Structures are given as structure tokens and as C-alpha cells.
Structure 1
Amino acid sequence: MAELLSTTSHGPSARVAWPAAVSPLVADVVAGPQVARPVLASFPTCLYLAAGSHEQVLAVLAADALALPIGLHLALPSTRVRWGVEPGAHVVVGGGRVRLPHADVVAVRLSRPSRVQALHDSWGAAVCLPDPGVLGDRAQQLVATVLEGGSAHAGVRSLIGAGRGLTPSGDDALCGVLLTLGALDLPRARRAHAQVASAVRSLTVRTTSLSAALLLAAAQGYAVPDVARLVSRVVGTRGRNDGADRVVGGRSGGSFRPHEPAGLVDRVLAIGHTSGRDLLAGVSGALRALDAHTTSQEGTPRG
């Protein structure tokens, strides 16, 4: 089938078919009725299309693009791809394909977007992470408030849409919070996750469509592969190391255990201009809040 799809037609309207793997998160949009979808943004490695409501976005991704969990993933690198459209144009999506001016991106199989693992053990020593800064402090306060029985709404509202670009810094931190809480199969983490996720869903109109789509994906545990891998390993470190000291947020100057792949943190930090660092600030903030909450609970006298 791949050979058939990669053949080029002849004549003045020559077209080529590019086979792609489609994420289950956007498969229904691609497989559904043919609809003209607005182009939100166009870059050499990726094309972002509105896919319905404000928080629905379809990312068409070259092989060297960041592997977002909401995408159609091509095997072709960006050097061999020409989208042929700019923001404001419309592209027909449906019937299993995205119809570009000179090519059809055809969904030939489902992809398996990366997802954080729900771990039964406690959170890890996040000593490998950079200092979370003010953004991490705000994420910590959000999670601490929820753990203490307060509402998540005000904290989420202060973060969502805060910053510039397609994925504002506050949203990246919220993704880190959601992924961290979602990686813990513990009652307090599940409750906190449900409240933060609910507040995020009610406030997505305050941010960009792409960021809203990625926030909702994070609420389900989905992220780019390096982020999902890092969060899962950091959260699981303490349990796998039999009670390692709780040191979170990178303020002890430690490093990953030997089993951690070299450069994983650096690869996450390299995502976007500040997206990777902002996301890790959210991870650290959530871990610090969980740690402080557990310490306070352990110190509470039982009558």
C-alpha cells in the first residue's frame, strides 16, 4: 500500500499521496465527513488545522516535527514536504485524508501517542529538574490548595493563557501539573487531578486553540514521548528506590539515577523557546505540593 500511495499522478494537476499514522485523539476528525478546516498556523515541520470547537486541533507533522499526541505523523522529513497553505486558508479534512494543494496526507494506520504511566508508588526525587522559579511556585500553590480541599478554579485561571505564543507559559506549567498528578494512582492525586482537569476544561476559551488541545491531551496523560517518559520516571523514582529522600524542584543539585537515559532532561528543556522548561516547572511544583502535603499529614497527631 505504501508504494501505491507514494506514486505521483501525471498531468497539470499532479498530486502525490503521503501515508501517515493518525493519533486516536484526532482519528475521528480525519475519518469523518469532508469539511473545509481553517489553517491556524504553518511551519516547515508542522501544520495546525482547526478541527471543530475551539479546543479541537489537528496537527499534520513531518517526521522531524515534535511528536504531538494530536497529530497525523508523516514518514517524510520537512525537507521533502511542502504544505502549500498559509494561516487563514482552508484545507479539506475527512474521508481518511487531509487534502493539501499538491498532496493528500492519507491516514493508513493508527499511531500510539505517548502517555504517562499511572504508578502505585510514591513520587520521585525530582533532583534532576531545574529550579522551577515563580511559575513552579504558582503551580505548587494550585496543587496545594486543591490537596487542602480548596477549589482549583482560581489557580487554573491565573495560569491558563498566561504568556505569549501558541502555547503560553502558564499552559505549559498546567500540562506539567496534569501529567504529574495523572501519573500517580493514589487517591489524593486522583482527586487533585480530577479537580484541576475540570477547571482547565471550563477555561480553555482563555487560551489558544492549540494550547487548549494540548491541555486536554495532558489531562488524559498524553504528551510528547520525552515528556511522558521523564514524568513517568521522575514520579516513579522514589518508589523504585525504596524510600529515597524527597528532594524536588532541582534545588539540591542532584542528578538522575544511572538507569535514566542520558540527555532526557536536556531534550525536554529544548522543546520550544521555553515550553520544556515551563512544563518542568509545573512538574516540580506539583511534586513539591504533594511532598509538603504528605509531610504535614504524617506530622498530624492521630487521636
Structure 2
Amino acid sequence: MLFEREEKMKTIADIADLAGVSKSTVSRYLNGGSVSSATKKKLERIIIEQNYVPNTFAQSLKAKKTAMIGIIVPRLDSFAASHTMMGIDDSLRRQGYQLLIASANQEVSQEIEAIHNFARQKLAGIILMSTQITAEHLHAIKEANIPTLLVGQQHPLLPSLIHDDYEAGKMMGEYVINNGHRHIIYLGVTERDIAVGIERKRGFREALERHDCQADYLETSFRMQDAMELAQSFLSETEATVIVGATDNIALGIIKAAHQLNLRIPDDISIAGFGGYDTAEIVTPALTTVTYDYLDSGKKAGEKIVQLVEEEYCENLTIYPVQLKKRESVDII
């Protein structure tokens, strides 16, 4: 024969026979359950030797609970969401879990649908990265009866992991005031988003008020294009010396508008943002921003959801610190 017949794919029963244990023990090990140290080492060795790859979806049809965690994100093209997911995925893999991703395209109805879909698939847990938590969300989570972690927002009824958006806003407010700016525009987002729309702006506003200073507060979307178009409408006429965008994407939209109007940054107008996106450092001039460690907080979120799934102690609220990055886009006046 020119080709040897391919060896038959190993099953859980084959692994159990080779290890001298029951199929349920192998299944429990694969799903992150409790097995003895000796059995764990034996199964690890045999699985590697046999190049065994478990069919996770097939397991989910039989198991009461899978070793899979679902994450629901508002959109996939978000720097914050993508880097948070990278951290979560890394953390879950190290703990024996896999990640399923659902994008809601910034639609509450799709977030609710995703919660129900994850429940039907018998997922072990859900991570919800929503811009807002409504009564519909709470009802769906209660119906699903699956451990659920909020990331990026907080709610008193659900375990939550957030960044310190109030402190971020306060840091930026103090910074622009200390640099001599008194004519200020803050380009924010809808207050339906508690973290970015309310807390970040609240910290900024209160920092200014402590210095008896006010700002003009405008609203745009999270999209760079929308921020650019809005900035184009007022940049050539404003008396503001600094414009602060509620996200780096918004700030980058303002920078693009300024370039199109032949305004020099920071000589003619200073610009700052929030997030610490990669693009914020490579634009010219580099963007002053408040950085958020999305990757590390994602790893922490992975640890927290597994704690919830395995019914271990888990803090109800985790607040991640932020850091001001002073770069060239904000001038001293």
C-alpha cells in the first residue's frame, strides 16, 4: 500500500482504558473538576502521548456544565474589548477553560439574545462587557442561572470588575488645569454608559470645579469619524486651548479634524484622551492620555469568573488603577 491507514482518533473511553480510570474521571479532569494529583499527572501524560484533543462541543451536549466561558462584547473592533479578551483568554486557558465570543454590535437586544444562547449551550459562566446594564439584562441573567461577571461596568447585584474611571477623569482634569488651561472643551459620550459617560466625566468636572474652573461639555459617539465631524464644526472658531476626548478614539478624531483645518498640535490647540491605545503613542505628536491596563485586567477577570464558576470566594467589586501618560499633545500655557 502507498499510504498507511490513518490511526483511529482516540476517545475518552480510550484514554480511560489506558489510564485505568473511569470515563467519568477523564471527563471530570477535562472539565476542570477535582481529581487526585496522581491521576491528574497520569492523565496529562497519556493525553500528551496520544495527542488527544477533546471535542468540547460534543462534550457540551452531554455535560450539565461545560468548561467553556462565554463573553459578550459590544463590538469587536474596540481596542479595550480586544485587549481585555486577550487577557481573559490567556487566563482561562491556564485554568482549563475555553472562551466563546459573542459580539452584540452595540445592541442591547443582541446582548440579551447572547445570554440566552449561552444558557442553552450550558456554558459554565458568562462575562458581560456591556455599556449599560438594564432591567432586561438582569432578568435574562436571572433566567440563565449561570455565574455572570460584569467587566467595564458595575452593578450592586452582580460581581463586577471596573477601571477607576472617576480617578481617571480627576487626573486629567488636574493635569490640564495645572498646565494653565482655563478654556476647556470635554467631548464625551452618552450617559447611558455609566463608566465612560458619567464617572469619567464626573471626575474631570469635579477636578475643574475645585479650581473654580468650568468647561464646555459636548457629546459624540465612540466612533472616531463622528468625533472628527463634530470637531470640524467648532475647531476653527473655538476659544478653547485644550480639548479632552472621553476616549483615545475620540481624541484621535479631534486630531484628524485639527490637521484638516491646518491647526498645529499643541501650538494652536492641545488635545488629550483616555485609554492608552497603541495608536495614541505613534501619532504625531504623541497623545497625552490616561492608560488602562486592559490586558492585565482581562487576566484578573478570567480568574474571577472561574472563582464564581467553582463557587470559591470572589470579591463583589474589583477596581483597577489607571495611570496618566504625559506626552506632547498638551502644551503648557
For normalisation by structure 1, the TM-score amounts to 0.26
TM-score (ref. length: structure 2): 0.24
Which of structures 1 and 2 has the bigger CA Rg? 2
Relative contact order, CA 8 A, sep 6+: which one is greater?
Answer: 1
